[in-house]
Amino acid sequence: MILSTSLNSTSYSFFDKLKAVDYFLIIIVAIIGSMSVFSIYSTENGNFSFYTKNHLTRFLIFFSMFLVLSFVRVSFWYRQAYIFYILGILLLLLVIFFGISASGSKRWLNFFIMNLQPSELMKIAIIVCFARYYHRIQSSDIQSYKYLLQPIILLLIPCYLVITQPDLGTAILIAGSGLVVIWLAGLNLKYFIYSGLILLVSLPFVISILKPYQKSRILTFFNPDRDPLGAGYQIIQSKIAIGSGGLIGKGFLQGTQSYLEFLPEKHTDFIFTLFSEEFGFLGSIVLILFYALLIYRIIRIGSSSRSFFAKLYCFGFASALFLYIFVNIAMVVGLLPIVGAPLPIMSYGGSSMLSIMLGLSIVMSCKIYSRDPIGN
Amino acid sequence: MIKKTDNLNKNKIISRRLFILVAAKIGLLGIVTSRLYNLQISEKQKYEVLSDKNRIREWKTPPQRGIITDYFNNVIADNRRVYQVHLSLEEVSNFNNSIFKLKNIINLKEDEIKKIYENKEKSKPWDTLIISENLSWNEFSKLNLYLHELEGAKPVLSTSRHYPYSNDLVHVIGYVGDATTKDIQNKKKIEENFVPGLKVGKIGIENSKDTDLIGNHGTKRYEVNASGKKISEISYNKETQGENLRTTIDLEIQQLAQELLKKKAGSICVMDIYTGEVITMASSPTYDPNKFTHGISTKDWNEIKNNKLRPLLNKSLAGLYSPGSTIKPLVALAALEYGIIDQKFKVNCKGHDHPYELYGERYHCWKKNGHGIMSMRNAIKQSCDIYFYEVARLLGVDKLSLIAKRYGLGSKVLEDFFSEEKKGIVPSTKWKKQVLEQSWYLGETVITGIGQGYIQTTPLQLCLMTAQLANGGYKIKPNLIYDKEIDLDKIKSKIESEKNKSVSKNILKDHKFKHYERLYRNPNNLKLVLDAMYGSTNEQFGTSFRSRHKEDKYKFAGKTGTSQVKRITDQDRELDLELEEIEYKSRDHALFVAFAPYDKPRYALSVLIEHGGSGSKAAAPLANKLIKKILDRHELREKIREDLKKFA
């Protein structure tokens, strides 16, 4: 029945489509993208070499991809939602057998042109999948056990696969993205409260099955000075870098903490730290404002969409995006344990960039084809 | 219809829930922003400091020790250029391998390698290790040749302590060595300026004046990266050299004294009788302080340590000897001052057949056939023991002790300047009660009168005693480092004013006196004693008559002393062995004290030869040569004194 959805699609002229494009969104993405290129350039102490080149290339390719894919009809994503999800699961399974290991975890698949991290794609796939799932369900049915169990299973499978890689951070983000959609779809608040309580009760058990390094990270979060040269090193150095940035920062390419290599993972998870050290409190606020604008634009697109799928997707994606950004920044300023979550667009990393751009292109597609009545 | 209302319903839910989400997001954003505000605005300074601590690392550069000169500005301790090889640990990939290569090039010995490994354990990964402190030019050039193969090795031109007159001054200057934990704990200055490889004074002036000599270390600040590699120099606070010191020593006289003591164990001290300047403080045998700078080898150390003549002992101030007859002038003076006897007091010395007897105990004079009837002047001149047995008995040990202490015996001459200085023993009845918990015997008083028994003095004390007799009986302040506060003219005028002061009542009870205060009651008593010493050297039958100078300008007065190491038995007396026939360890110590020139005294000296035999044969002849040199250099010394005063 789902597959036989009638597509009495509206026809759009090319001009209409161009008119419908949210240029403001594109500009914001371009601005954050350029900021990211400069930041990566700074991680290489102002040398235009490996990381900067790679990052710039990826940004340009995926940004173009975003623009092109924006013109894919939103109904396509609706139709392929489950396929997208299954594809994601398949790729995660492939990681188990053919994955590339790095620093103790197996997360990547070698696709010759790039190493793909399927868990990153899963972050988008789960939103698309749930948006479609809840698109058709009547609000009265949502609370039923059947419709409660199904999404939970759909959510647990990728989370489990990702946790075992192991990659706690991405698993949390996938779970968070999924839960946000479930929440938006209208699942009763009590379930969230219940599951929250269950999680709290089972916390000791969860901790006991965590890997030693994960445990140490959590313990370190509560007391970074526990092991200042080991597990606490990253967070201490990150706080020093950010704190010493002050109001206006040390200046572009002047961040001593990153330049002198005190900062770990400065290309990826700690890119915000570098940015904040060099551009200070004001710079950080500006960057956060751009992100806020981006999220605002996405929510606006969702609000003006007619279809439930588009709404769920846009709101879900916007919230997920917020979650990524929040987790990353909260992590580097020492508000959350270090779990390994990249900052969208800013962080070096192809898969993350790919999934964000893909997610954005679906948003844009929702905008361009906002009049498409999906699946009704 | 249902669908439509349901859609409306769904839209309502989603809007409401979105609203809650957005509110939550704004809240979370607020938290993140306030955290950023907290880190970057409120606690900025704290993190700035931490960031600087991260990126800036300090390297301390060693200070240079101050230069030590003698009174005439001859350098007696300076810093010499040395060739060293350092190893920068952060550049070394395989430490064992590097050491092996270095070992082949610069001939490292096993114990040196052991020390290097020990030091490495104590170092931080970015530290520089000193592999060898003192390379020969050959080794150094060879090292430079192979440098490309030696990762992390750095040929370094450095400076190290050097003593140009090596052995001659070791007992005055001392030597330096690596700072130990104890050194660092004991001296704040060392702690503040400590750098790895810092040399500190171990003994002598180097030790007591360390705080002045050491200087201040420099600080090089480098920006470093996380692995400690230097990126750039930020600042260089240059190290400063320690203060230069001028000693009161006359290098030439010191050298002559050491020459005279060669192959003997002994001491020679020379002092200015007014200023208290120690002009010479020789002790023999000596050793080379340069060997200690870079750590002495076990072989050299054992050689010094096992030498029977004890080179490590600074005999001038840490060697304790019975003063023997050199104390007789003081005994005579004490008896006169207390009015026990007058100078006409006579004692008959009848030789070994009729010794001095007290409670059945017999006391002999050194002269077998006796001196005959002795007056005081003659008794000092010919050093008659019988006379002084009797004088001592009449005087009592406590009065003698008081006068002896007053003239400088029984306390440290240079106060705490040298840690090894001994105060010796000036016995008294009270002393014996306290220390030995026994009563005093009169027989002990009798032998104290000839400087035997419990009494123990250092050669420097004897020199000071002589000086304070020779200057007319005034307390002086002995010193080894030139001090512009000690001014000859001022001292002389101070003494002049003291001379005319009426005698204080307690002159016979006090033994604590201020510097340059008069120590005597009646100047005539002192004059008699000094005149007797003149006789001892310049008149026939005087004990040091053979060592006299005939020329007027070199004429000096002195007193010999022969201090017994063990009790002389009747059998010994019977045998009357020649010096060479007695076992070295049992031979008497030879002593001589003197002042010169006689008519206008200025310098006092003491000579001690361990197991040298009699004072008149072994010690007095050295004084003859010494005094000539001292007086020849007097003009020069006075000229320097004037110059120093002018420039001050």
pTM for this model (two decimals): 0.70
- Look at residue A226 in the predicted model and tell me its pLDDT: 62
In a domain, B73, yes or no: yes
Q: Give me the residues paired with residue B114 across strands.
A: none
In a domain, B337, yes or no: yes
- A121-175 pLDDT, tens digit per residue, is 999 999 999 999 998 888 778 888 888 889 999 999 999 999 888 888 899 999 9
In a domain, B21, yes or no: no
Judging contacts by C-beta atoms under 8 Å, the chain B residues touching residue A180 are: 21
Rounded distance, CA B446 to CA A37, Å?
103
Report residue B175 as tokens.
């030597």
- A369 to chain B, any CB pair closer than 8 A? The answer is no
Question: How many beta-carbon contacts under 8 Å exist across A and B?
Answer: 128
In a domain, A8, yes or no: no
User: How many Å lie between the alpha carbon of B90 and the closest alpha carbon of chain A?
Assistant: 16
Same domain, B160 and B71: yes
A contact residues 152-211, partner B, Cβ 8 Å cutoff: 180, 183-186
Report residue B311 as tokens.
């080179």
Same domain, B425 and B517: yes
In a domain, A157, yes or no: yes
- Look at residue A227 in the predicted model and tell me its pLDDT: 62
pLDDT (average), residues A332-354: 90
Report residue B300 as tokens.
């050299």
Range of the domain at B331: 251-303+313-647
- B41 to chain A, any CB pair closer than 8 A? The answer is yes
Neighbouring C-alpha atoms within 13 Å toward the C-beta of B233: 7
CATH number of the domain within which B335 lies: 3.40.710.10
State the pLDDT confidence band at A267, using cuts at 50, 70 and 90. Answer: confident
Neighbouring C-alpha atoms within 13 Å toward the C-beta of A25: 27
Same domain, B227 and B350: no
In a domain, A323, yes or no: yes
Nearest to A303 by CA among B479, B487, B17, B228: B17
Q: Which amino acid, one-letter code, is at B542?
A: G
Same domain, B214 and B291: no
Task: Check A319 against B47: CB less than 8 A apart.
Answer: no
User: How many Å lie between the alpha carbon of A319 and the closest alpha carbon of chain B?
Assistant: 8
In chain A, the number of structural domains is 1
- Look at residue B243 in the predicted model and tell me its pLDDT: 92
- Look at residue A221 in the predicted model and tell me its pLDDT: 67
According to DSSP, residue B39 is labeled I
Same domain, B84 and B145: yes
Domain boundary among B225, B246, B267: B246
CATH number of the domain within which B192 lies: 3.90.1310.10
Same domain, B256 and B292: yes
- State the 10-residue block means of pLDDT for chain B, 648 residues long: 70 89 94 94 90 82 90 92 84 84 84 84 78 85 84 82 91 90 85 83 91 89 78 86 93 95 94 95 93 86 91 94 94 93 90 87 89 92 93 94 93 90 94 93 92 94 95 93 90 89 73 85 92 93 91 92 84 78 88 93 95 90 94 94 86
- A326 to chain B, any CB pair closer than 8 A? The answer is yes
Going along B391-496, which residue ranges are E strands? none
Alpha helix segments (H runs only) across B151-284: 170-173, 181-186, 188-192, 204-208, 210-213, 251-260
Same domain, B178 and B281: no
Q: What are phi and psi of B583, to 5 degrees?
A: -60, 140
Same domain, B329 and B291: yes
- A366 to chain B, any CB pair closer than 8 A? The answer is no
Contacts 24+ apart (CB under 8 A), B441-445: B442/B358, B442/B359, B442/B393, B443/B358, B443/B359, B443/B361, B443/B363, B444/B397, B445/B392, B445/B393, B445/B395, B445/B396, B445/B397, B445/B400
Q: Which helix (H) or strand (E) holds A213?
A: helix A212-222
In a domain, B572, yes or no: yes
Task: Check B32 against A262: CB less than 8 A apart.
Answer: no
- Look at residue B89 in the predicted model and tell me its pLDDT: 82
Judging contacts by C-beta atoms under 8 Å, the chain A residues touching residue B37 are: 281
Distance spanning both ends of chain B, measured CA to CA: 115
In a domain, B14, yes or no: no
Neighbouring C-alpha atoms within 13 Å toward the C-beta of B61: 16
Residue A1 pLDDT more than 60? Answer: no
Same domain, B275 and B331: yes
Alpha helix segments (H runs only) across B56-135: 95-106, 110-122
- Look at residue B293 in the predicted model and tell me its pLDDT: 84
User: How many Å lie between the alpha carbon of B9 and the closest alpha carbon of chain A?
Assistant: 7
In a domain, A155, yes or no: yes
Same domain, B506 and B542: yes
Same domain, B230 and B340: no
Nearest to B536 by CA among B488, B492, B595: B595
- B436 to chain A, any CB pair closer than 8 A? The answer is no
Same domain, B121 and B223: yes
In a domain, A169, yes or no: yes
Pairing of strands B356-358, B266-272: unpaired
Tell me if ipTM is over 0.85.
Answer: yes
- A192-219 pLDDT, tens digit per residue, is 898 888 888 887 787 777 777 777 777 7
- A79-135 pLDDT, tens digit per residue, is 999 999 999 999 999 999 988 888 778 888 888 888 899 999 999 999 999 999 998
- Look at residue B327 in the predicted model and tell me its pLDDT: 95
Range of the domain at A51: 14-368
Q: Which of B32, B223, B226 sits opposite A329 (nearest CB)?
A: B32
Q: Report the chain A residue with the minimal C-alpha distance to residue B43.
A: A243
Residue A4 pLDDT more than 50? Answer: no
Task: Check B28 against A326: CB less than 8 A apart.
Answer: yes
Residue that is written with structure tokens 């929510």 in the block: A299
Q: Which amino acid, one-letter code, is at A321?
A: L
In chain B, the number of structural domains is 2
Average pLDDT, chain A: 88
For chain A, percent of residues with pLDDT exceeding 90: 55
In a domain, A25, yes or no: yes
In a domain, B25, yes or no: no
**CB-CB contact of B234 with B56 (8 Å):** yes
In a domain, B64, yes or no: yes
In a domain, B47, yes or no: no
